[in-house]
Every structure is written in structure tokens, then in C-alpha cells.
Amino acid sequence: MIFDVTKIAEKDLQCLFQYVHEEKCKNFLTKTKEHYRLLNAFSDMFHDEILMDIGTFKGLSALSLALNHQNKVITVNKEKRSNFLGKPIEDGFPIEVVTENILSVRDNEELADNIKKSAVVLLDITHNGKDEQDFYEFLLEIEYKGILIADDIYLKRNGDMEGWWNSIKEKKFDLTEYGHWSGTGIVDFSNKLEIKWTT
Ligand SMILES: C[S@@+](CC[C@H](N)C(=O)[O-])C[C@H]1O[C@@H](n2cnc3c(N)ncnc32)[C@H](O)[C@@H]1O
């Protein structure tokens, strides 16, 4: 499986504008140095798979992963997000919204099972390095065989994300140059991923 980073620049997410209300969010979807176009390009590598989106917030990452309709996106947030001001993200997209604290995933058999079956997990939660480590240990416990995309691996605001990222021993790629300014890391538990970098 080859992820060609040149595919990111070809992506246009303007069709998602109706699902978001704020101008700021629309800008996030289109500009470089955010990860949404990368997520959309990454999702194109999969068909009929479950893609997990951990940390829904306003739904931009879930929408970006679901835009091509080829997979099912399950998006998880610890509190119910009732302040979506655009169209509901489930409306017209293969998205299932789950309200759960991901740190309690060991007590939620259905969610744990879906994560184990998923091809991709996007992790975008508290960014303190501790919650990410806790979830990472869960992935190791279940012998996860998919691909983890970690957002904000260099964010310093809430804790030691970089320390957590550096501690990861599995095969990993740093796609920050093509993703989020605050860091986009990929851990390949599948051992099948190759990156086609620009020359
Ligand atoms: C940075 S936002 C996610 C942004 C979203 N992925 C995007 O790119 O559009 C982080 C979200 O994670 C949620 N969150 C934080 N800790 C969580 C946890 N332990 N379990 C589930 N959701 C959590 C927060 O409520 C917040 O909505």
C-alpha cells in the first residue's frame, strides 16, 4: 500500500462547506498546514473498511475521511457534540457518531471490537501525551494491525506530545510537512504502508 503525498495537493474539500458554519472551519478545510486534505487523500487507499476518528469536535476530520463514501467512518467524542451549526455530519455521509470517553474503551466491547477491525485510527484528543499513551497501550493490547494517524505530535500546549511520539518503537512516518503544522505522525502497525515522498 503506497501513500503518494502528491495526491494531497489535488484535493478540494469545498463541497464540505455546507456541513460547517464558521468561516474559520472552512479555511481549515482548504488551506495547507492543516491535515484535512491529507486525511481525505489517505482514505482513498481503502475500500469497505472501518476508519476510526477519535475526537470529533466539529466533525471536520470525520467528514474528510468519509468524503469518498468508500468506507465507514466511526467518530468518537467523549461528550455529545450538540453545537454543530452546519448540516449534521451523518447526513449524507457514511458516518456513525459515538459518544464515549476513549480512555474507557476497555469497558466498551463494541467500540473496542470496531477499533480492532478498523484499517485506520485517527487520534486527535487532548494532546497531553498521557491520554495518547493510554490509548496507544490499548492498541498494543489488542494487537492492532491497522494504521494510526496521530495529530499534533509536536504540540506543546497541553503536555509532552513529542516525548510520547519519540517513545514509539513501531514503524512510523512523520508527515508533518504535508499535514498539520503542529505535527502529523503515522504509525504503521500493518507493516504494509509505504510513503511515496516528493523528490
Ligand atoms: C482537537 S478536537 C478534534 C478535532 C477533529 N478531529 C478535527 O480535526 O476536526 C479534540 C476533541 O477530542 C475530544 N476528546 C478529548 N478527550 C477525549 C477522550 N478521552 N475521549 C473522546 N473524546 C475526547 C474533545 O471533546 C474534542 O472534541
**Does residue 76 have its Cβ closer than 6 Å to ligand 1?**
yes
**Does residue 126 have its Cβ closer than 6 Å to ligand 1?**
yes
**Does residue 58 have its Cβ closer than 6 Å to ligand 1?**
yes
**Does residue 55 have its Cβ closer than 6 Å to ligand 1?**
yes
CA of 55 to the centre of ligand 1 (A): 3
Lookup: cell for 81? 457534540
Query: Residue 23, class by beta-carbon neighbours within 10 Å (0-12 exposed, 13-18 middle, 19+ buried)?
Result: exposed
CA of 56 to the centre of ligand 1 (A): 5
Query: Residue 160, class by beta-carbon neighbours within 10 Å (0-12 exposed, 13-18 middle, 19+ buried)?
Result: middle
Helices marked H in 67-194: 109-117, 130-141, 161-167
Mutate-to-test residue for ligand 1 from 78, 85, 99, 104, highest number of ligand atoms within 8 A of CB? 78
Q: How much is the CA Rg of the chain, to the nearest whole Å?
A: 16
- What is the chain's pLDDT, residue by residue, as a tens digit (199 residues)? 999 999 999 999 999 988 887 888 888 898 779 999 999 999 999 999 999 999 999 899 999 999 999 999 999 999 886 555 567 888 889 999 999 999 999 999 999 999 999 999 999 999 999 999 999 999 999 999 999 999 999 999 999 999 999 999 999 999 999 999 999 999 999 999 999 998 7
CA of 57 to the centre of ligand 1 (A): 5
CA of 198 to the centre of ligand 1 (A): 31
Report domain extents, the chain: 2-196
The third-level CATH classification (topology) of the domain covering 2-196 is: Rossmann fold (3.40.50)
**Residue nearest to ligand 1 atom 2, measured at CA:** 57
Q: Length of the chain, please?
A: 199
Report phi then psi at 24, rounded to 5: -55, -45
Lookup: cell for 8? 494531497
Contacts of residue 112, Cβ cutoff 8 Å, sequence gap at least 6:
105, 106, 138, 142
